[in-house]
């Protein structure tokens, strides 16, 4: 096994339950590289919900809290609130984050909580057999949309930007070096960082949406359809051609939630010490 | 076999030996072509590959 695997994998859980060629295994490696290069293993805590992507956190040999479907973000907020020095990373999927967990994403981004969300987007609910997800393209045929999906696709990066996330990136498993850099940047960023990872799912997305269960075909599809475009005003042109814009879209510094709460507490205590109440 | 697929130097071929999970494993057949780019290592979903480059010659582990 490679040295990063020796250092960062939970060996008693091996081998991976992932399907052959699944992108999740590549994301485990990317996360391990990022954590190793940052040197934050002792401060790191991962939260994960339910789905194939949640197992990325389980295989990583760090403190991990695996919770109910869609509730990884509130668990992460609790971990951050109890010990703000922690580096909190939530590993979630497109169903876990954009469907059942959508509201948590909205408010965590709005509050600019210092945490990192790694959202693995395989465009389907894979673990349960290939049902339509919020990220499934329009007219795609899945287990639950055998006549074609009639819903519009939800773009997690657009949601994160609209809700006030201060760092937003999207890369894919076909761009591992850029992905490692983006994960490092997200963890180091002070505020809410959202890193979306377009990942291949040969067994569900490959067979239902793309017409092939070959991992090489699926990875090539991702390489061909992920186009670097970091200006959100030009995304419509990329999407009109059936492609997915990738890149580092946004990074700004804004007041972080835990720091604002601490400031408010100090202000109130000082006022109370002077005989006032605020 | 994503390593064979991503390798720009055609180092790998499909081998005959099977892993513990009964999948055919890749075989390094053209090590002299390897440029130590590490793409095979980064693209392996099972973290089964390590690329080690040395100053004189290259060694594959």
The predicted structure's pLDDT at residue B59: 52
Chain B residue numbers with beta carbons less than 8 Å from the beta carbon of A24 are: 45
Domain spanning A3-253: CATH superfamily: Thiamin diphosphate (ThDP)-binding fold, Pyr/PP domains (3.40.50.970)
Three-state secondary structure call for residue A131: strand
Axis crossing angle, helix A72-82 with helix A102-111, rounded to the nearest 10 = 30
Residue A149 — very low, low, confident or very high, per pLDDT cuts 50/70/90?
Answer: very high
Residue A189 — very low, low, confident or very high, per pLDDT cuts 50/70/90?
Answer: very high
Contact A18/B41, CB-based, under 8 Å?
A: no
Is it the case that residue A278 has pLDDT exceeding 90? no
Contact A18/B50, CB-based, under 8 Å?
A: no
Q: How many domains does chain B have?
A: 1
Using DSSP bridges, classify how beta strands A226-228 and A192-198 pair: parallel, antiparallel or unpaired.
unpaired
pLDDT tens profile A152-174:
999 999 999 999 999 999 999 99
Q: What whole-number percentage of chain B has pLDDT above 90?
A: 51
Does B44 reach chain A within 8 Å, measured CB to CB? yes
Give how far Cα A253 sits from Cα of A20, A168, A182, A257, B42, Å: 40, 12, 16, 12, 31
Residue B56 — very low, low, confident or very high, per pLDDT cuts 50/70/90?
Answer: low
The predicted structure's pLDDT at residue B57: 54
pLDDT tens profile A69-81:
999 999 999 999 9
Q: Which domain holds residue B55?
A: 2-60
Contact A9/B47, CB-based, under 8 Å?
A: yes
**Size of chain A, expressed as the number of residues it contains:** 278
Is it the case that residue B53 has pLDDT exceeding 60? yes
CB A198 within 8 A of CB A4: no
The predicted structure's pLDDT at residue A9: 94
- Interface-testing mutation among B45, B53, B61, with chain A (most A C-beta atoms within 10 A): B45
Q: What whole-number percentage of chain A has pLDDT above 70?
A: 100
**pLDDT higher at B54 or A245:** A245
Q: What is the pTM of this model?
A: 0.93
Query: How high is the ipTM of this complex?
Result: 0.83
pLDDT tens profile A16-60:
999 999 999 999 999 999 999 999 999 999 999 999 999 999 999
Give how far Cα A97 sits from Cα of A55, A125, A146, Å: 15, 12, 24
CB A134 within 8 A of CB A93: no
Angle at A16 between CA A58 and CA B46, to 5 degrees: 115
The predicted structure's pLDDT at residue A59: 95
Q: What is the DSSP annotation of A59-77? A: HBSSEEEE-STT-HHHHHH
pLDDT tens profile A112-136:
999 999 999 999 999 999 999 999 9
Does B41 reach chain A within 8 Å, measured CB to CB? yes
Q: What whole-number percentage of chain A has pLDDT above 90?
A: 96
Does B25 reach chain A within 8 Å, measured CB to CB? no
Is it the case that residue A276 has pLDDT exceeding 90? no
- Rounded CA-CA distance A182/A171 in Å is 8
The predicted structure's pLDDT at residue A54: 94
Does B32 reach chain A within 8 Å, measured CB to CB? no
- Quote the strand ranges of chain A, DSSP E: 44-48, 63-66, 87-93, 115-121, 167-172, 192-198, 226-228, 244-251
Is it the case that residue A241 has pLDDT exceeding 80? yes
At B59, which helix (H) or strand (E)? Answer: strand B58-60
Chain A residue numbers with beta carbons less than 8 Å from the beta carbon of B39 are: 176
Contact A216/B2, CB-based, under 8 Å?
A: yes
Q: What are phi and psi of B15, to 5 degrees?
A: -90, 180
- Rounded CA-CA distance B31/B45 in Å is 21
Residue B20 — very low, low, confident or very high, per pLDDT cuts 50/70/90?
Answer: confident
Domain of B19: which CATH number?
3.30.70.20
Angle at A274 between CA A268 and CA A276, to 5 degrees: 60
For residue A214, what is the nearest residue in chain B, using CA coordinates? B1
The predicted structure's pLDDT at residue A250: 95
Contact A21/B2, CB-based, under 8 Å?
A: yes
The predicted structure's pLDDT at residue A1: 72
Does A22 reach chain B within 8 Å, measured CB to CB? yes
Chain B residue numbers with beta carbons less than 8 Å from the beta carbon of A30 are: 42
Does A202 reach chain B within 8 Å, measured CB to CB? no
Using DSSP bridges, classify how beta strands A244-251 and B12-18 pair: parallel, antiparallel or unpaired.
unpaired
Contact A216/B1, CB-based, under 8 Å?
A: yes
Is it the case that residue B60 has pLDDT exceeding 60? no
- Rounded CA-CA distance A124/A136 in Å is 6
């Amino acid at each position: 096994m490679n040295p990063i695997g020796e250092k960062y994998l939970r060996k008693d859980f091996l081998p991976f339950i992932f399907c052959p060629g699944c992108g999740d295994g590549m994301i485990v490696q990317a996360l391990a590289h990022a954590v190793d290069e940052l040197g934050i293993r002792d401060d790191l805590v991962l939260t994960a919900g339910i789905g194939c992507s949640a197992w990325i956190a389980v295989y990583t040999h760090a403190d991990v809290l695996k919770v109910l479907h869609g509730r990884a973000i509130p668990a992460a907020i609790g971990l951050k609130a109890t010990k703000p020095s922690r580096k909190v990373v939530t590993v979630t999927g497109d169903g876990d984050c954009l469907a059942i967990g959508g509201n948590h994403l909205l408010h965590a981004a709005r509050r600019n909580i210092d945490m990192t969300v790694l959202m693995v987007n395989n465009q389907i609910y894979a673990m349960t057999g290939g049902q339509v997800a919020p990220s499934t393209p329009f007219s795609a045929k899945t287990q639950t949309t055998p006549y074609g999906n009639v819903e519009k696709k939800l773009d997690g990066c657009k949601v994160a930007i609209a809700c006030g996330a201060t760092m937003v990136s999207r890369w894919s498993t076909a761009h591992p070096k850029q992905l490692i850099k983006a994960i490092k940047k997200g963890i180091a960023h002070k505020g809410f960082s959202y890193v979306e990872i377009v990942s291949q799912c040969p067994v569900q997305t490959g067979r239902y949406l793309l017409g092939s269960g070959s991992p090489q075909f699926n990875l090539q599809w991702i390489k061909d359809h992920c186009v670097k475009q970091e200006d959100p005003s030009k995304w419509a042109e990329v999407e009109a051609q059936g492609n997915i814009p990738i890149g580092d879209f946004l990074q700004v510094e804004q007041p972080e939630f835990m720091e604002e709460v601490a400031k408010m507490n100090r202000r109130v205590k000082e006022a109370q010490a002077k005989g006032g109440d605020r | 076999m994503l390593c064979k697929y991503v390798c720009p130097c055609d180092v790998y071929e499909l081998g005959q030996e099977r892993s513990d999970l009964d999948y055919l494993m890749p075989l390094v057949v053209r090590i002299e072509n390897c440029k130590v780019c590490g793409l095979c290592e980064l693209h392996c979903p099972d973290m089964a590959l390590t690329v080690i480059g040395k100053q004189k010659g290259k060694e594959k582990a």
